Structure 1
Amino acid sequence: MTISASLTPTNRRIVWGVRALLALAFAAAGIAKMAGVAQMVQVFDAIGIGQWFRFMTGTIEITGAVLVLLPATVFFGALLLAVTMICGVATHLFVIGGNPAPALMLALMSAFVAWRLRPVFQLLALR
């Protein structure tokens, strides 16, 4: 298994910068959810599933923030965060209202990292 495309030093720095931003954003959001910040409690009350969903989302965000920093797990972390934010966009559009742009931007950034660092499996040639 290899990384999808060889990255130039400039591209490598860009991807690292996006990874760092994602880690900071998702760690902060996840910690806020886990700590029970009033705004987060209100948002998840509006969603209507229950506060357990706030804890689950916070756990997913913190886990994704860690995974996106580790070279061996960056693809899976970025993919996890992209899917989480796609669900966040849908929640804003169809359930709670509000501006889905921040969630959309985080989804796009996560998808960018997942795409740039996707694994490529090489098949062995049969002789």
Structure 2
Amino acid sequence: MSIAVQSKPSRLAPAALWVVRGLLAVVFLAAGGAKLYGVPMLVEEFQHIGLGQWFRYLTGMLEVLGACLLLVPPLGAFGAVVLSCVMIGATITHLFVIGGSPVPALVLLAFNALVIFVKRSDIAAVLSGRPR
């Protein structure tokens, strides 16, 4: 006969996830803000991409939107999805268009994927139409 011992859930995991979400939000607010502000280096980089400056504005808006969504508890996973799509595009752009290292984009993609994985029940709840 075995006795199952139920341990108290750790408070560390939710706190760690909030730290990750907060850091991601800061990074993407800064990056998106720089794109929207028109930092000369970014204007030149997006010119090199060849899609026009509208694409810089779109990318900046998606980064700011995703960062804001990360900080709203029921929408954090959706923010991470938006930002993951941006980072997939950034990785592809670095590999095939502008050069440079795709590692920063891949690291940010990995942290966003972690948020998506941990908060996947929030996505499932919204997609199924059931309340959380």
TM bucket, shorter chain:
0.7 to 0.9
- Is 1:57 paired with 2:62? no
Comparing both chains, which one has the higher relative contact order based on Cα–Cα distances under 8 Å and sequence gaps of 6 or more?
Answer: 1
Aligned to 1:9: 11
Offset at residue 8 of structure 1 (A): 3.1
- Is 1:48 paired with 2:50? yes
TM-score (norm 2): 0.84
- Give ranges in structure 1 of 5+ residues lacking alignment: 1-6, 123-127
Sequence identity (%): 46
C-alpha offsets along residues 71-94 of structure 1, whole Å, 9 cap, x if unaligned?
111111011111110110010001
Q: How many residues align structurally?
A: 117
- Give ranges in structure 2 of 5+ residues lacking alignment: 1-8
Segments of 4+ in structure 1 off by > 6 A? none
Which has a greater percent of helix? 2
Aligned to 1:94: 96
C-alpha offsets along residues 31-56 of structure 1, whole Å, 9 cap, x if unaligned?
00000001110110110000000000
RMSD: 1.6
TM-score (norm 1): 0.87
CA distance in 2, matches of 1:42, 1:100: 18
